[in-house]
Every structure is written in C-alpha cells, then in structure tokens.
C-alpha cells in the first residue's frame, strides 16, 4: 500500500473506532438507565409490600409477593390495568409499567424468600389444614392443594399461598366477586375461584388462611 493510501485510510479507521466506541457507550448507558429504572420500581414496591416482599400490615393488609409465581404476578398486573381486577391503588401503579418491566418485577419477587409474618390464631391451623388437603365435600368445595400444590407454592398462573398474610387471604376470598372478574366479556382464571369462595363459610376461610400463612 502506498503512503498516500495509508494516510487516507487512517482517519477513516479512527472515525470508525470512535463511532463504534460511542455506540457501545450509549448501549451501556441505556442498560444502566434501564437497570436503574427497574431498581427504582422495586424500591417503590417495597414501600407497601415490605423490604423483602413479605407483605405489610398497615391500614389494611398488603400481600406478600416474595416467592410468588411470576406468571401470576404478571397476570394480576395486567388485570389491574384492564380493570378486570378492581383496586384503585394498583391501577395507578400498574398502568405505567411496560410489559418488560412487569416481567422483570415478577422475576425479582419470585427470587425472594422472606420468613412469613404469621400472626393468625394457631388454634385454626388444624382445621385449615384439613380443608386445604381434603376440601369441604358437604358444600362441594374441592381440596385447595389440588390446584395450589401440597406445599401451597402454586404453579404458573396459580398463585402461591404459602406465607401469605392470613388477613389478606380472608379479605380477598370474602370479597372475591367484588374485586375479581370485573369484565364478564373477558373472563379470566379468577372465575375458577368464584364457586369456592362462595361455598366456604367465613370461619372456614379464616381456618384455611391461618394454615397457609404459616407455610414457608
């Protein structure tokens, strides 16, 4: 190669390296900002759901997210956004989240394993265990473990109940048809629980809720 050709090629090569480095820097900056934004959302969730996603008891019980099935979390966030599940606070939180952020949050909470808060009357545990494992045949209530698993950890779209706040579970089941399945034209998996929530008495709900709340 002649000297003149080398002199012409050098600036082009230097510019190419510079543009490549600048592009990589922008990609890294974008990734850092994305991680930072996700961490900010996680910190925001901690405000209500606890530092380790263990749930919180304030004016009303706020659910445990630690160890929850990712598909379930994503489905519920979508239900809040689409008004299929009624909760004015969670609509405000969820509707600004992208699908990628919702998936990342769900993955984060799945990886947490905080100790259950407990607090339910222990005298209810034995009967709650019986209902959870055997159901209540006299009122056509199936065994909870048939769907939620022997350890109440759920699977895919079926939620984990293990370690969930007992008062949260009680409130949700007692008010199931007032909060879930609010768009009859677009029924979702919540419809499965409607007969069960209707056929369980409040005392039975309290017993099941007490039992699963102590599971880890």
pLDDT digits 0-9 by tens, 99-130: 999 999 999 999 999 999 999 999 999 999 99
pLDDT for the residue numbered 5: 52
Task: Break the chain down into helix, strand, coil percent, rounded to 5.
Answer: 60, 5, 35
DSSP 120: S
pLDDT of 25 strictly over 60: no
Cα–Cα nearest to 89, from 53, 63, 117, 66: 63
Whether 18 has a pLDDT exceeding 50, the answer reads: no
Interval 34-68: pLDDT, tens: 788 999 999 999 999 999 999 999 899 999 999 99
* Whether the Cβ atoms of residue 70 and residue 107 lie closer than 8 Å to each other: yes
CA 122, 166, 64, 53 dihedral sign is negative
pLDDT attached to residue 77: 97
Whether the predicted pLDDT of 15 surpasses 80: no
Give the SS3 label for residue 103.
Answer: helix
Average model confidence (pLDDT) for the chain? 89
What backbone phi and psi angles, to 5 degrees, belong to 57? -110, 110
Predicted model pTM: 0.83
Q: What is the DSSP string of 138-194?
A: GGTBPPTHHHH-TTS--BTTBPP-TT--HHHHHHHHHTHHHHS---TTS--GGGGHH
* Helix, strand or coil, per DSSP, at residue 56: strand
- Does residue 26 or residue 162 have the better pLDDT? 162
Is 132:145 a contact under the CB 8 Å cutoff? Answer: yes
pLDDT at 143 over 70: yes
* Lowest mean pLDDT across 30-34, 35-39, 83-87, 201-205: 30-34
The count of other CB atoms within 10 Å of the CB of residue 172 is 19
Minimum mean pLDDT range among 13-22, 107-116, 166-175, 179-188: 13-22
| Whether pLDDT at 132 is above 90 | yes
Is the pLDDT score of 8 beyond 80?
A: no
Distance CA 109, CA 54 (A): 10
Q: Are 158 and 76 in contact (CB under 8 A)?
A: no
* Domains within the chain, CATH numbers bracketed: 50-213 (1.10.760.10)
Quote the CA–CA distance of 187 and 32 in Å, as a whole number: 39
């Amino acid at each position: 190669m002649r000297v003149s050709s080398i002199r012409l090629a050098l600036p082009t090569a230097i510019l190419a390296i510079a543009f490549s480095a600048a592009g990589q820097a922008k990609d890294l900056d974008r990734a850092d900002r994305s991680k930072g934004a996700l961490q900010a959302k996680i910190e925001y969730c901690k405000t209500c759901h606890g530092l380790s996603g263990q749930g919180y008891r304030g004016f009303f019980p706020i659910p445990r997210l630690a160890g929850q099935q990712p598909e379930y979390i994503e489905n519920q966030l979508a239900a809040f956004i689409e008004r299929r599940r009624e909760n004015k606070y969670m609509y405000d939180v969820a509707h600004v989240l992208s699908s990628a952020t919702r998936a990342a949050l769900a993955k984060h909470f799945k990886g947490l394993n905080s100790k259950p808060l407990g607090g339910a009357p222990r005298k209810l545990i034995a009967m709650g265990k019986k209902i959870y494992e055997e159901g209540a045949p006299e009122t056509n209530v199936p065994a909870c473990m048939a769907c939620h698993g022997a350890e109440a950890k759920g699977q895919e779209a079926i939620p984990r109940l293990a370690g969930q706040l007992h008062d949260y579970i009680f409130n949700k089941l007692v008010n199931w048809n007032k909060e879930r399945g609010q768009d009859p034209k677009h029924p979702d998996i919540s419809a499965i629980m409607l007969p069960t929530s209707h056929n369980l008495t409040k005392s039975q709900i309290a017993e099941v809720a007490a039992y699963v709340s102590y599971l880890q």
